[in-house]
C-alpha cells in the first residue's frame, strides 16, 4: 500500500487568522525539515493568501481553488487539486478553506474512496476571531446556512485557536471560550494573538508517522485524531492544471470595473429553503493609469460600514509601490511586497454589497491628474 500523506485542515471565519497560522506552520515545517504543500481555497478570483505564501515560502507548492468554496461549488475540484499536490510527493499537505466554508463537507470529501486511500487527516484546526466571535454570531443568527457553517467550524475541530486576543478584552476572551465549549468541549484550545500557538504538538503525529514509515520495525504510534480508514478503491481522478488567472475583461476600455460577484451557496435542499447565505465577494481591478490614493481607498472601505466584512488584495500606489492590503474587523494593515504585481486588485467580501455604489466609490479612489 502506498504511504498516505498527512493532511492538516485549517478553517475559521473570515479574517480570523488562518493564513497567519499557516505561515507559522510552514516556517516550522521548513525548519524540521518537512516538504509541505498547500491547498488554498479563496472566495475571490485571485489567490491573495496563496501569493502571500509564495512570497514568504517560494519553495512551497501552492494549489489554489478560487471563486468558490471547497465545501460546495468547488467540492468537485477538490480531489483533482489534492492529487496535483500529491504528484509532488509532499511530506504533508495543509488545506486552508475560505472563511465561509463548512469543514464538515470537506471532511466528508476527504473520507471518500477517491481520497481516503492517499491521505489521512491529522488535525482539523479551527481559528476563531476573539474580537468578533460574538458579534458575528448574533449578526448572522437569521442566516441559517452561515450559522451552520460557524458551528461546523467549531464542531469538527480537534484543535481550536482563539486568536486576536490582543483586540479583545480578557473578559470577552473568557466569554468566547465559554461559548465555544458549548459546541465542542473536547478539542484542545489555545488563546493567542497572531496565531502564535505551540506548533510542535501539532506536528508530532506527522513526525511519528514519518519515522514509522522510515523505520517500519518501530512500534506504530497511536492513530491520529480523526484518522481515516486505511484502504479504499483506487480510482482515476481528473487533475486540475495550475491556472494563471486573468480578469475576463482585462482589455475593456473602462478604467475600473466590478468584475465578479460570487454568492456562497450550497446545493439546493428542498427541506431547507431558507438556508442560503448571502455573503458574496466582489473583485475590483486597478485598471486606471491615474494614481490610486491610499487614504481614499481606506475611506471608501470604511464607508461601506457593516456590509463589508473583509477586504484583501494588492494595490499599486504612487509613492509606496505595490502593497498588500488587509482589512478585517475594521483594522487596516498595509505591507510592502516584492511580488511582481502589474495590475492591482482588491477583493471585497461582505453581505448585500451594493455593486453600483462600490464601482462608483472605487472610481473616486483614483486621483485625477
Ligand atoms: N490584531 C490582530 N491581527 C491579526 C491577528 N492575527 C492575524 N491578524 C491580522 O488579521 C488579518 C487577517 O489575517 P489572516 O491570517 O489573513 O486571516 P484569514 O483567516 O486567513 O482570513 P481570510 O483570508 O479572510 O480567510 C491580517 O491583516 C493579519 O495580520 C491577531 O491575533 N491580532
Here the CATH number for the domain that contains residue 98 is 3.40.50.300
SS3 content of the chain, % helix, strand, coil (to 5): 35, 25, 45
328 shares its domain with 208: no
11 shares its domain with 129: yes
Domain count, the chain: 2
Q: Judge if the beta carbon of residue 328 lies within 6 A of ligand 1.
A: yes
pLDDT digits (tens, 9 = 90+) for 225-271: 343 333 322 222 223 333 323 333 322 222 333 434 445 544 434 34
Confidence tier at 16 by pLDDT (50, 70, 90): very high
Q: Which residue has the least CA distance to atom 14 on ligand 1?
A: 17
pLDDT digits (tens, 9 = 90+) for 271-319: 443 334 678 889 999 987 789 999 999 999 999 999 999 999 999 999 9
Q: Judge if the beta carbon of residue 194 lies within 6 A of ligand 1.
A: yes
Q: Judge if the beta carbon of residue 285 lies within 6 A of ligand 1.
A: no
Q: What is the pLDDT of residue 231?
A: 30
> pTM for the full model?
0.85
Q: Which residue has the least CA distance to atom 13 on ligand 1?
A: 17
91 shares its domain with 18: yes
Q: Which residue has the least CA distance to atom 27 on ligand 1?
A: 326
Q: Which residue has the least CA distance to atom 15 on ligand 1?
A: 17
Domain around 277: 258-364
Among positive and negative, which fits the CA dihedral 293, 296, 297, 298?
positive
81 shares its domain with 184: yes
Which residue among 154, 180, 214 closes a domain? 214
210 shares its domain with 311: no
Percent pLDDT > 90 in the chain is 59
Is 204 part of any domain? Answer: yes
Q: How many CB atoms lie within 10 A of CB 86?
A: 19
pLDDT digits (tens, 9 = 90+) for 92-108: 999 999 888 889 988 99
78 shares its domain with 181: yes
Q: Ligand 1, closest atom to CA 193?
A: 31
The chain-wide mean pLDDT, for the chain, equals 82
**ipTM of the shown complex:** 0.99
pLDDT digits (tens, 9 = 90+) for 199-238: 999 999 999 887 766 665 554 443 343 433 333 222 222 2
210 shares its domain with 262: no
Q: Judge if the beta carbon of residue 193 lies within 6 A of ligand 1.
A: yes
106 shares its domain with 193: yes
What region, left, alpha or beta, does residue 329 occupy, with left being phi > 0 and alpha being psi -120 to 50 degrees?
Answer: left
Q: Judge if the beta carbon of residue 164 lies within 6 A of ligand 1.
A: yes
Which residue among 153, 186, 214 closes a domain? 214
Q: Which residue has the least CA distance to atom 12 on ligand 1?
A: 15
Q: Per the omega criterion (within 30 degrees of 0), is the bond before 225 cis?
A: no
149 shares its domain with 65: yes
Q: Judge if the beta carbon of residue 11 lies within 6 A of ligand 1.
A: no
164 shares its domain with 278: no
The CATH number covering residue 346 comes to 3.30.1220.10
Cα separation, 256 vs 345, in Å, equals 10
Q: Judge if the beta carbon of residue 14 lies within 6 A of ligand 1.
A: yes
Q: Judge if the beta carbon of residue 15 lies within 6 A of ligand 1.
A: yes
Is 369 part of any domain? Answer: no
**Beta strand pairing status for 279-285 and 345-351?**
antiparallel
pLDDT digits (tens, 9 = 90+) for 23-64: 999 999 999 999 999 999 988 778 888 889 988 999 999 998
* Dist. CA 293 → ligand 1 center (Å): 23
What contacts 46, CB < 8 A, 6 or more positions away? 66, 245, 283, 313, 345, 347
142 shares its domain with 15: yes
What contacts 67, CB < 8 A, 6 or more positions away? 42, 43, 44, 45, 73, 74, 260, 262, 281
Q: Ligand 1, closest atom to CA 97?
A: 25
Which residue among 197, 214, 231 closes a domain? 214
Whether 351 shows a pLDDT value over 80: the answer reads yes
322 shares its domain with 202: no
Amino acid at each position: 500500500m502506498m504511504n498516505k500523506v498527512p493532511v492538516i485542515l485549517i478553517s475559521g471565519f473570515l479574517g480570523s487568522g488562518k493564513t497567519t497560522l499557516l505561515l507559522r506552520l510552514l516556517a516550522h515545517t521548513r525548519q524540521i525539515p518537512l516538504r509541505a504543500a498547500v491547498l488554498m481555497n479563496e472566495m475571490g478570483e485571485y489567490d491573495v493568501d496563496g501569493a502571500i505564501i509564495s512570497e514568504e515560502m517560494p519553495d512551497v507548492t501552492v494549489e489554489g481553488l478560487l471563486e468558490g468554496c471547497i465545501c460546495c461549488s468547488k467540492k468537485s475540484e477538490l480531489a483533482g487539486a489534492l492529487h496535483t499536490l500529491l504528484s509532488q510527493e509532499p511530506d504533508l499537505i495543509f488545506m486552508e478553506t475560505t472563511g465561509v466554508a463548512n469543514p464538515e463537507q470537506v471532511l466528508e470529501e476527504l473520507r471518500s474512496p477517491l481520497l481516503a486511500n492517499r491521505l489521512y487527516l491529522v488535525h482539523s484546526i479551527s481559528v476563531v476571531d476573539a474580537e468578533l466571535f460574538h458579534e458575528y454570531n448574533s449578526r448572522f443568527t437569521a442566516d441559517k446556512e452561515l450559522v451552520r457553517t460557524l458551528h461546523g467550524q467549531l464542531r469538527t475541530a480537534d484543535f481550536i485557536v482563539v486568536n486576536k486576543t490582543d483586540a479583545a478584552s480578557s473578559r470577552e476572551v473568557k466569554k468566547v471560550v465559554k461559548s465555544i465549549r458549548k459546541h465542542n468541549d473536547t478539542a484542545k484550545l489555545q488563546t493567542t494573538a497572531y496565531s502564535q500557538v505551540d506548533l510542535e504538538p501539532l506536528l508530532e503525529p506527522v513526525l511519528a508517522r514519518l519515522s514509522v514509515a522510515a523505520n517500519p520495525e518501530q512500534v506504530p504510534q497511536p492513530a491520529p485524531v480523526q484518522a481515516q480508514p486505511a484502504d479504499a478503491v483506487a480510482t482515476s481522478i481528473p487533475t486540475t492544471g495550475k491556472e494563471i488567472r486573468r480578469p475576463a475583461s482585462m482589455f475593456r476600455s473602462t478604467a475600473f470595473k466590478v468584475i465578479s460577484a460570487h454568492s456562497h451557496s450550497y446545493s439546493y435542499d428542498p427541506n431547507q429553503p431558507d438556508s442560503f447565505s448571502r455573503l458574496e465577494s466582489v473583485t475590483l481591478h486597478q485598471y486606471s493609469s491615474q494614481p490610486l490614493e491610499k487614504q481614499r481607498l481606506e475611506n471608501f472601505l470604511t464607508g461601506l460600514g457593516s456590509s463589508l466584512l473583509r477586504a484583501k488584495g494588492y494595490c499599486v500606489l504612487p509613492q509606496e509601490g505595490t502593497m498588500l492590503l488587509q482589512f478585517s474587523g475594521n483594522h487596516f494593515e498595509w505591507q510592502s511586497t516584492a511580488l511582481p504585481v502589474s495590475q492591482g486588485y482588491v477583493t471585497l467580501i461582505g453581505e448585500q454589497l451594493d455593486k453600483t455604489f462600490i464601482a462608483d466609490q472605487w472610481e473616486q479612489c483614483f486621483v485625477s491628474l
